[in-house]
Structure 1
Amino acid sequence: MEIWESLKIAVATLSANRLRSGLTMLGIVIGNASVIAMVGVGQGAERYAAGQFESLGPNTLFVVPGSPQARNRTFDLPQTLVLADAKAIAQQVPSVKEVAPQIQSQQRITFDSRNLSGLVVGTTPNFLTVRSFEVDRGRFISDADLARQNRVVVLGSDMANKLFVRQDPIGESIRIKGITFEVIGVLKEKGAFLGNNQDETAFIPITTMANRVVGTRSPYGIPLTFISIAANDQQSIDAAKYQITNLLRLRHQIVNEDDFTIQTQKEALEIIGNISNALTLMLAAIAGISLLVGGIGIMNIMLVSVTERTQEIGLRKAIGATQEDILWQFMIEAIILSALGGLIGTGLGVGGVLFISAVTPLEAGVAPAAIALAVGVSGGIGLFFGVVPARRAAQLDPIVALRSA
């Protein structure tokens, strides 16, 4: 019997039992849709995290106080970085382009009857370059503001909108921790970084922050929350990390464990990528279990179908059908069920990925490799689990089959 004839008979047989065929395909549909959706969401989460880190600024490194071990052991970070360290890095490290020391503190900010709790950052003029921020109105902090410890402030776009509803904030006065500051600028919208809104921030001169707002000093100078650093280019990042490490070890007279940690975008992205890949693989494996369940369902229904169609099989073999013809007949039915279920599941999975991308910040995308893998696996499952019932049907004795009818 020709394959085409077997295909027409298989389609007619499956169409005659639409409900049973649909329920048989359900496991394959769910499995394919889940695998494609999970892989797409995982890749979208990785791209989202990469975009978040890129928003921190190109070729950026961060020097934070405390060794990695110390940071894991305590919430109170040691004050081991000072302003003099940042100045030394800017002057003595050739692979560094700009340095922006920062002191951060959560403070109460008020204007007239409006008040909110926001992040106050003491920094230097280099902050704009290092962290890729832009001024929308007014100006940013200047070197003169640092030298004179001026009480001036630059607001993030969201903070400006909340404090000054439909009002130009430039030239107005706000109070931070009870101290009056003049608003000299508003930054362009930057967006959130890993859930933290960077636009709800107030920026003041680092000297004003240290001496008037925070009011804390270490024996070695003004303590910093961390130091943001821009390397000369992408190729200079590793060299900058090595040179900064050596410089700070000499300045801090370190013999054993470092009292600081240097973090780069590349390292952070590698960690995020590894975590994302592991989670995606785990979720895809869990979703793939439904493909296995769907394959077992196909085998179960095909075995039932062999039992129900014993008379048909005996009659076909009696009029000349070979074992190979019967084998192909049932194999084709199993492959149709799994392939059709794979296509429907693929459509649902792609639709789910596009929906998630539309309603969430995740840049979820449809991975062609995931589609090919899911459809290939579902087709392979149909072929694999269809072998047993197909062989059972092919090996039926026609006389016994006709007598059992």
Structure 2
Amino acid sequence: MLRESIKIAITNIWAAKMRSFLTMLGVIIGVSSVVVLVSIGDGAKRAVEKQVGSLGANLLIIQPGRIEAGKSINVASTISSSVLNVKDLEDVKNTEHVTSVSPMMMVGGVPASGNNNYPNALVVAGYPEFKEMLNFGIENGNFFNKDEYNRAVNEVIIGENVKKQLFGDGDAIGKKITVLSNNFIVKGTIKSKGSNSGFGPLNFDDLVVMPFSTASKITGHEQVWRIFFQVDSHDNLDSVKKTVTQTLTKNHDGIQDFTVLAQDDLVGVAGTILNVLTALIASIAGISLVVGGIGIMNMMLVTVTERTKEIGIRKAIGATKKDILLQFLIEAMVISFVGAMLGFALGMFGQFIITKLTSAIEPYLSLQTVYSVIAMAFGVGVVFGLLPAIKAANKNPIEALRWE
């Protein structure tokens, strides 16, 4: 019986191909939008996990501002109003199980000049351990060592974008660049790594890295934007995190105006933000699904009216209310399902186009999304096909046979 109802539904839909396709459009657009947007969101989450996972092992980060569980922080506000200081840095360094530590001073986006100009170089400064903390590789040259740090040398390590803009494809090692009105020698170049959204607006390819001692000498202050430190074992992460939090809270007169984050916390914070944004945008795209469902209901109501006599004949030869209801409900579900599959295909094509146009985010389609699309298809068909199906099932067979 079910197979026969599906065959009848497909035959009736095919008999009015254009009308059926136009009815499906809302579902097609809605499903394709949801597929593209959710896959972009999932792709962004995977990118964040990959970036944070590429940082040094057993890494903890202290940043200004309080981050509650599952919430984010205004990154811009922490750049100009850092509450961290050198005493905090020394106390972290002296904490048991801490193996290495580095501050991070962020000067911000400033012009850099060499053979050419680069308007938005991101100048940061740290200890020699900074390289291992962030786990970025050196393409050419070397990172500054402890002796060079102690001498506050005017040497920098530059990112891929800075190197290409200032020196093209030529060798940058030993070349002179001007940053912060001071001349520096390029000591090394960073392997291309791109943006790391795990802790702020950093793009490794835009970096100009100098010793913290040099930056302090030039700027006249020792502002600490972040403190990075590594622990000897993963098992000690929680205890060290707790100890450091207690120590710095005492330093700050009992006010916890900072947050100690582990790598899992970074993924969690970024993931929460992306989940909310993805759900919000997907919900907006889902409105077109509702519109598509209303279109299906409207067409099915018209179809019920047009086929009133057919309903009367079927009831006269023994069809029950359940048979009629099932037939029209299946028709609505088939329209919705076919529309969803076409929308899914369109969404996959959109994913392909995005992948070709940009390498910043690689969309990722999970099985959960696929199952959700199938569930949405049947859901729209049932919800918006039920009223027309009930109306058809309740038709009086005598009046239906008189219908002209």
TM-score, normalised to structure 2, is 0.83
State the partner residue of 1:342: 340
Query: 1:132 offset after TM fit, Å?
Result: 0.6
State the partner residue of 2:39: 40
Q: Decide whether aligned partners of structure 1 residues 246 and 302 sit closer, same or farther in structure 2, where only a CA change above 3 A counts.
A: closer
Task: Answer with 193-202 or 365-374: which moved more.
Answer: 193-202
Q: Is the 8 A contact 1:357 1:365 kept in 2?
A: no
State the partner residue of 1:93: 95
Gaps of 5+ in 2: 68-72
Q: Is the 8 A contact 2:62 2:226 kept in 1?
A: yes
Q: Decide whether aligned partners of structure 1 residues 158 and 233 sit closer, same or farther in structure 2, where only a CA change above 3 A counts.
A: farther
Over residues 257-289 of structure 1, what are the superposed CA-to-partner deviations in whole Å (9 max), with x where a residue is unaligned?
146543433323222222222222333333333
Q: Decide whether aligned partners of structure 1 residues 357 and 166 sit closer, same or farther in structure 2, where only a CA change above 3 A counts.
A: closer
Q: Do residues 237 (structure 1) and 237 (structure 2) align? A: yes
Task: Answer with 63-72 or 101-110: which moved more.
Answer: 63-72
Counting only pairs closer than 5 Å after superposition, residues 149-160 of structure 1 correspond to structure 2 as: 149-160=152-163
Q: Is the 8 A contact 1:174 1:183 kept in 2?
A: yes
Counting only pairs closer than 5 Å after superposition, residues 245-284 of structure 1 correspond to structure 2 as: 245-249=245-249, 252=251, 254-258=252-256, 260-284=258-282
Query: 1:49 offset after TM fit, Å?
Result: 2.9
Instruction: Please give the secondary structure, in 1, of the residue aligned with 2:351.
Output: helix
Q: Which of the numbers 80, 105, 112 marks the counterpart of 1:103?
A: 105
Q: Is the 8 A contact 1:81 1:226 kept in 2?
A: no
Report which of the two structures shows the higher radius of gyration computed on alpha carbons: 1
Q: Is the 8 A contact 1:59 1:231 kept in 2?
A: yes
Q: Decide whether aligned partners of structure 1 residues 99 and 24 sit closer, same or farther in structure 2, where only a CA change above 3 A counts.
A: same
Counting only pairs closer than 5 Å after superposition, residues 115-154 of structure 1 correspond to structure 2 as: 118-154=121-157
Over residues 229-284 of structure 1, what are the superposed CA-to-partner deviations in whole Å (9 max), with x where a residue is unaligned?
1233444332222222333345x3x4421465434333232222222222223333
Distance 1:70 1:340 in 2: 44
Residue type of the alignment partner of 1:47: R
Distance 2:104 2:314 in 1: 84
Q: Do residues 214 (structure 1) and 219 (structure 2) align? A: yes
Distance 2:203 2:76 in 1: 25
Q: Decide whether aligned partners of structure 1 residues 60 and 329 sit closer, same or farther in structure 2, where only a CA change above 3 A counts.
A: same
State the partner residue of 2:205: 199
Q: Which of the numbers 310, 328, 331 marks the counterpart of 2:329?
A: 331
Query: 1:3 offset after TM fit, Å?
Result: 4.0
Over residues 276-308 of structure 1, what are the superposed CA-to-partner deviations in whole Å (9 max), with x where a residue is unaligned?
222223333333333333333323222222221
Q: Do residues 377 (structure 1) and 376 (structure 2) align? A: yes
Instruction: Please give the secondary structure, in 1, of the residue aligned with 2:85.
Output: coil
Query: 1:99 offset after TM fit, Å?
Result: 0.9
Q: Is the 8 A contact 1:124 1:206 kept in 2?
A: yes
Q: Is the 8 A contact 2:89 2:103 kept in 1?
A: yes
Task: Answer with 12-21 or 42-51: which moved more.
Answer: 42-51
Query: 1:129 offset after TM fit, Å?
Result: 1.1
Residue type of the alignment partner of 1:214: T
Query: 1:387 offset after TM fit, Å?
Result: 3.5
Q: Is the 8 A contact 2:125 2:209 kept in 1?
A: yes
Indicate the percent of aligned positions where both proteins have the same amino acid. 36
Q: Is the 8 A contact 1:314 1:401 kept in 2?
A: yes
Q: Is the 8 A contact 2:114 2:176 kept in 1?
A: yes
Distance 1:166 1:322 in 2: 79
Distance 2:82 2:379 in 1: 58
State the partner residue of 2:351: 353
State the partner residue of 1:296: 294
Q: Decide whether aligned partners of structure 1 residues 262 and 18 sit closer, same or farther in structure 2, where only a CA change above 3 A counts.
A: same
Query: 1:141 offset after TM fit, Å?
Result: 1.0
Task: Answer with 240-249 or 127-136: which moved more.
Answer: 240-249
State the partner residue of 1:219: none
Residue type of the alignment partner of 1:89: V
Q: Is the 8 A contact 1:339 1:379 kept in 2?
A: yes
Off by >6 Å, runs of 4+ in structure 1: 66-75
Q: Decide whether aligned partners of structure 1 residues 57 and 358 sit closer, same or farther in structure 2, where only a CA change above 3 A counts.
A: farther
State the partner residue of 1:367: 366
Equivalent residues, number = 394
Q: Do residues 164 (structure 1) and 167 (structure 2) align? A: yes
Residue type of the alignment partner of 1:44: G
Query: 1:65 offset after TM fit, Å?
Result: 5.2
Query: 1:81 offset after TM fit, Å?
Result: 0.5
Residue type of the alignment partner of 1:338: S
Q: Decide whether aligned partners of structure 1 residues 80 and 192 sit closer, same or farther in structure 2, where only a CA change above 3 A counts.
A: closer
Distance 1:224 1:162 in 2: 29
Distance 1:35 1:76 in 2: 38
Q: Decide whether aligned partners of structure 1 residues 310 and 268 sit closer, same or farther in structure 2, where only a CA change above 3 A counts.
A: same
Instruction: Please give the secondary structure, in 2, of the residue aligned with 1:98.
Output: strand
Q: Decide whether aligned partners of structure 1 residues 180 and 400 sit closer, same or farther in structure 2, where only a CA change above 3 A counts.
A: closer
Q: Decide whether aligned partners of structure 1 residues 175 and 40 sit closer, same or farther in structure 2, where only a CA change above 3 A counts.
A: closer
State the partner residue of 2:403: 404
Q: Is the 8 A contact 1:29 1:341 kept in 2?
A: yes
Instruction: Please give the secondary structure, in 1, of the residue aligned with 2:170.
Output: coil
Q: What's the RMSD between the two structures over aligned residues? A: 3.2
TM-score, normalised to structure 1, is 0.83
Query: 1:172 offset after TM fit, Å?
Result: 3.4
Over residues 173-222 of structure 1, what are the superposed CA-to-partner deviations in whole Å (9 max), with x where a residue is unaligned?
444444443333223223223454323333333323322x2223xxxxx4
Instruction: Please give the secondary structure, in 2, of the residue aligned with 1:199.
Output: helix
Residue type of the alignment partner of 2:247: L
Q: Is the 8 A contact 2:84 2:223 kept in 1?
A: yes
Distance 2:44 2:74 in 1: 29
Distance 2:374 2:115 in 1: 63
Q: Is the 8 A contact 1:326 1:394 kept in 2?
A: yes
Over residues 157-176 of structure 1, what are the superposed CA-to-partner deviations in whole Å (9 max), with x where a residue is unaligned?
33233333343333334444
